[in-house]
């Protein structure tokens, strides 16, 4: 027997993904619908010797094709005829949830109506007569309790035992469909037709509600009480920012980063040493040793080193999202963020961007519209990530010893200000046609299902390794090649390599910024591999060696080491400032670029990110230098 094809569809916040995860467990594949920033989730389960393939369609309120998600669902049903379509409804919110059900029925899609969150509905005084509901639609009705594994397994019996050909739309349903067809044939304007059809659907729903649902009002719910604290009044802002602070600390200082450092030390330290020793003993050629140690292993390190950060952050974000709190974040911050052409939820990538751009860019997937997702991805590179801090700390300590902290702070500010300006410009140019609207469901607070949180976290890490990892790895090996070879073959000295030639060719570009030395040019080029490489490249090129400390606490010591070299004379305070501004704003590292490609599904947007950040950095740093000179600074 061939696999039974099941499609899950429903509104957002109905617990659809939790049901999908309970059904398929780890046997699922997260991909991407072609050309859009929407996840495509497919899973398999074997039950009573039958293979059942389950597709989790994106959550939508309708199939009106107003958003990417709606287009995905609408196109899916045009092109596919799954054996079973399950429409998952939040029983506590049945009236609005039925809108999609009615619309699917109009499109001739037979479906199983599954009432989820029945326990929650009962607590809210909502009683649903399943037999009546079945009669109203002529379709089978089942129910599940959100997180109960057992009740979800019952669905498998339903899938294997239900023959959809036994079910036909009820008379009442058919009458509604006829009415919709009449409206569509009435010759009114398309807009008017849409509105009449929507009104007719709710007419039908109101009829269903009066036949199959009784609601008794029971005062304020727990969610309402919580919302009076978390979504209203000044203290809601305080609580929110305290939570962001904890989230940031957890990811970048307490758990994520320490784990990443351990892993990084192992990959670029112990592992490289062992590999070198082993290869030495085996008599492997020098170039091969270098390829393995500095190319391949460094590439693996560049990819894998970020995984602990991604796991930690997405564990927290997925948990928060599951509770329903992220909708409150969007609600509370909307008036501030909309001024910059962003939505409230864009605060997450913006805050996380101060730690590391890679998870920040990935966090954009949680936004509600394509416009929000794209703008969040494109502005994150301007922020001061952890790897840029050593550059700022070193240059500030060297050239502005009296007010180093102020200068570093100013760099943070420049990054944030440019990010906000870029968001504003992008929202009014490249994404102008996509409306910036705000109409957001505030779902009740819920305890997220741990299985779903863990699976989502795992998928984020896996998706990053598979999709972004290959690109990042390839770019790292390429940079290894450029820094270890010249036209005569392999070279020990980086300052004889292709990279140095590229660096000196590049440096010509920086005459208007006052730092047109080839060392600065080469550091800028290696900085694209990883921002940490800017300081270490300068260490090599100015003859301090390749073990320069990039710890911020050591910035003063490192600065005095550099002051003893020709670097002290290579920059003036003004050109140093221009260099800091440039490195603050220019292209993100290859890891971030690979992540941009993964998230936007487009090489074009990755190339755009590289070119536009470099252009913005070049222009702003030139302005700093030139205006500074006019004002009499040096």
Q: What angle do CA 264, 270, 274 make, to 5 degrees?
A: 140
Q: Is there a contact between 85 and 104 (Cβ–Cβ < 8 Å)?
A: yes
Q: Is there a contact between 500 and 491 (Cβ–Cβ < 8 Å)?
A: no
Burial track 465-485 (b if 16+ CB lie within 10 A, e otherwise): bebbbebbbebbbebbbbbbb
Q: Is the dihedral of CA 625, 628, 632, 634 positive or negative?
A: negative
Q: At closest approach, how far in Å is the CB of 221 from another protein?
A: 10
Q: At closest approach, how far in Å is the CB of 186 from another protein?
A: 18
Q: At closest approach, how far in Å is the CB of 90 from another protein?
A: 8
Which lies closer to another protein via its Cβ, residue 19 or residue 329? 329
Which lies closer to another protein via its Cβ, residue 8 or residue 231? 231
Residue 144 and residue 87: Cα distance in Å, rounded? 12
Q: At closest approach, how far in Å is the CB of 342 from another protein?
A: 14
Pairing label, strands 213-215, 126-128: antiparallel
Interface contacts to another protein, rule CB under 8 A: 61-62, 64, 66, 92-96, 99, 124, 126, 191, 194-195, 198-199, 202, 215, 223-224, 227-228, 231-234, 236-237, 327, 330-332, 334-336, 435, 437-444
Q: At closest approach, how far in Å is the CB of 330 from another protein?
A: 8
* Contacts of residue 356, Cβ cutoff 8 Å, sequence gap at least 6: 252, 306, 309, 385, 386, 387
Which lies closer to another protein via its Cβ, residue 327 or residue 347? 327
Name residue, tokens 């609408």: 74
Q: Is there a contact between 400 and 385 (Cβ–Cβ < 8 Å)?
A: no
Q: At closest approach, how far in Å is the CB of 105 from another protein?
A: 16
Residue 155 and residue 23: Cα distance in Å, rounded? 9
Which lies closer to another protein via its Cβ, residue 126 or residue 304? 126
Q: At closest approach, how far in Å is the CB of 366 from another protein?
A: 17
Which lies closer to another protein via its Cβ, residue 188 or residue 509? 188
Q: At closest approach, how far in Å is the CB of 66 from another protein?
A: 7
Q: At closest approach, how far in Å is the CB of 438 from another protein?
A: 5
Which three-class secondary structure state does DSSP give residue 167? Answer: coil
Q: What is the DSSP letter of 322?
A: H
Which run of H or E residues covers position 90?
A: strand 84-90
Q: At closest approach, how far in Å is the CB of 189 from another protein?
A: 12
- Give the number of C-alpha atoms closer than 13 A to the C-alpha of residue 311, restricted to the C-beta side: 15
Which lies closer to another protein via its Cβ, residue 215 or residue 504? 215
Q: At closest approach, how far in Å is the CB of 65 from another protein?
A: 11
Which lies closer to another protein via its Cβ, residue 197 or residue 383? 197
Which lies closer to another protein via its Cβ, residue 370 or residue 486? 370
Which lies closer to another protein via its Cβ, residue 199 or residue 288? 199
Q: Which long-range CB contacts under 8 A does 531-539 form with residues at least 24 apart?
A: 531/385, 531/387, 531/388, 531/391, 531/583, 531/589, 532/387, 532/390, 534/391, 534/583, 535/390, 535/391, 535/394, 537/494, 538/562, 538/567
* Contacts of residue 195, Cβ cutoff 8 Å, sequence gap at least 6: none
Q: At closest approach, how far in Å is the CB of 183 from another protein?
A: 14
Residue 88 backbone phi and psi in degrees, to 5:
-90, 125
Which lies closer to another protein via its Cβ, residue 94 or residue 426? 94
Which lies closer to another protein via its Cβ, residue 92 or residue 386? 92
Burial track 423-459 (b if 16+ CB lie within 10 A, e otherwise): bbebbeebbeebebeeebeebbbbebbeebbbbbbbb
Which lies closer to another protein via its Cβ, residue 93 or residue 595? 93
Name residue, tokens 């995860």: 21
- Give the number of C-alpha atoms closer than 13 A to the C-alpha of residue 275, restricted to the C-beta side: 19
Q: At closest approach, how far in Å is the CB of 236 from another protein?
A: 5
Residue 42: exposed, middle, or buried by beta-carbon count in 10 A (0-12, 13-18, 19+)? middle
Which lies closer to another protein via its Cβ, residue 39 or residue 120? 120
Q: What is the DSSP letter of 151?
A: H
Q: At closest approach, how far in Å is the CB of 440 from another protein?
A: 5
Which lies closer to another protein via its Cβ, residue 328 or residue 467? 328
Q: At closest approach, how far in Å is the CB of 416 from another protein?
A: 20
Name the token pair of 218. Answer: 């029971």
Name the token pair of 634. Answer: 């040096």
Which lies closer to another protein via its Cβ, residue 210 or residue 487? 210
Q: What angle do CA 87, 91, 93 make, to 5 degrees?
A: 100
């Amino acid at each position: 027997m061939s696999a039974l094809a099941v499609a899950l569809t429903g509104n957002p916040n109905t617990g659809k993904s939790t049901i999908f995860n309970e059904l398929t467990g780890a046997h699922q594949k997260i991909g991407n619908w072609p050309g859009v920033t929407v996840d495509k989730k497919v899973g398999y389960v074997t039950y009573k010797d039958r293979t059942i393939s389950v597709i989790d369609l994106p959550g939508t309120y309708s199939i009106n094709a107003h958003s990417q998600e709606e287009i995905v669902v609408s196109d899916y049903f045009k092109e596919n005829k799954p054996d079973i379509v399950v429409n998952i409804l939040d029983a506590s919110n049945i009236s609005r949830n039925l809108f999609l059900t009615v619309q699917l029925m109009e499109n001739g899609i037979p479906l199983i109506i599954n009432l989820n969150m029945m326990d929650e509905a009962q607590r809210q005084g909502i009683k649903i007569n399943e037999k009546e509901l079945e009669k109203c639609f002529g379709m089978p009705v089942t129910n599940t309790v959100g997180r109960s594994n057992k009740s979800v397994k019952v669905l498998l019996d339903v899938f294997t035992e239900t023959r959809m050909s036994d079910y036909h739309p009820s008379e009442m349903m058919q009458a509604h469909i006829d009415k919709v067809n009449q409206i569509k044939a009435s010759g009114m304007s398309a807009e008017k037709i849409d509105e009449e059809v929507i009104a007719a659907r709710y007419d039908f729903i109101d009829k269903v509600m009066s036949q199959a649902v009784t609601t008794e009002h029971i005062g304020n719910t727990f969610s309402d009480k919580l919302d009076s604290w978390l979504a209203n009044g000044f203290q809601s802002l305080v609580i929110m920012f305290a939570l962001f602070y904890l989230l940031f600390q957890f990811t970048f200082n307490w758990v994520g980063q320490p784990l990443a450092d351990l892993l990084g030390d192992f990959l670029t330290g112990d592992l490289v040493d062992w590999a070198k020793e082993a290869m030495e003993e085996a008599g492997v050629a020098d170039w091969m040793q270098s390829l393995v140690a500095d190319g391949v292993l460094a590439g693996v390190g560049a990819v894998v080193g970020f995984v602990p950060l991604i796991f930690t952050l997405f564990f927290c974000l997925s948990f928060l999202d599951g509770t329903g709190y992220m909708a409150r974040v969007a609600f509370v911050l909307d008036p501030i963020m909309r001024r910059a052409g962003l939505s409230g939820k864009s605060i997450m990538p913006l805050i996380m961007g101060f730690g590391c751009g890679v998870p920040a860019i990935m966090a954009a997937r949680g936004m509600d519209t394509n416009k929000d997702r794209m703008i969040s991805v494109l502005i994150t590179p301007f922020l001061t990530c952890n790897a840029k801090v050593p550059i700022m700390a070193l240059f500030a300590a060297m050239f502005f010893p009296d007010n180093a902290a102020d200068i570093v702070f100013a760099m943070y500010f420049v990054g944030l200000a440019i990010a906000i300006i870029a968001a504003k410009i992008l929202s009014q140019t490249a994404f102008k046609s996509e409306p910036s609207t705000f109409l957001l469901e505030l779902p009740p607070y819920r305890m997220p299902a741990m299985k779903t949180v863990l699976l989502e976290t795992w998928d984020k890490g896996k998706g990053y390794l598979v999709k972004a990892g290959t690109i990042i790895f390839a770019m790292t090996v390429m940079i290894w090649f450029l820094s270890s070879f010249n036209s005569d073959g392999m070279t020990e000295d980086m300052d004889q390599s292709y990279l140095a030639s590229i660096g000196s060719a590049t440096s010509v570009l920086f005459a208007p910024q006052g730092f047109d030395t080839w060392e600065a040019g080469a550091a800028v080029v290696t900085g694209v591999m990883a921002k940490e490489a800017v300081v270490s490249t300068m260490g090599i090129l100015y003859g301090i060696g390749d073990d320069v400390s990039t710890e911020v606490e050591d910035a003063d010591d490192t600065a005095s080491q550099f002051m003893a070299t020709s670097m002290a004379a290579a920059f003036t305070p003004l050109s140093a400032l221009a260099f800091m501004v440039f490195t603050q704003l220019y292209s993100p590292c290859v890891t971030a670029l690979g992540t941009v490609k993964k998230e936007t599904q487009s090489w074009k947007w990755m190339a755009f990110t590289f070119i536009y950040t470099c252009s913005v950095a070049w222009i702003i740093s030139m302005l700093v230098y030139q205006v500074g000179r006019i004002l009499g600074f040096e």
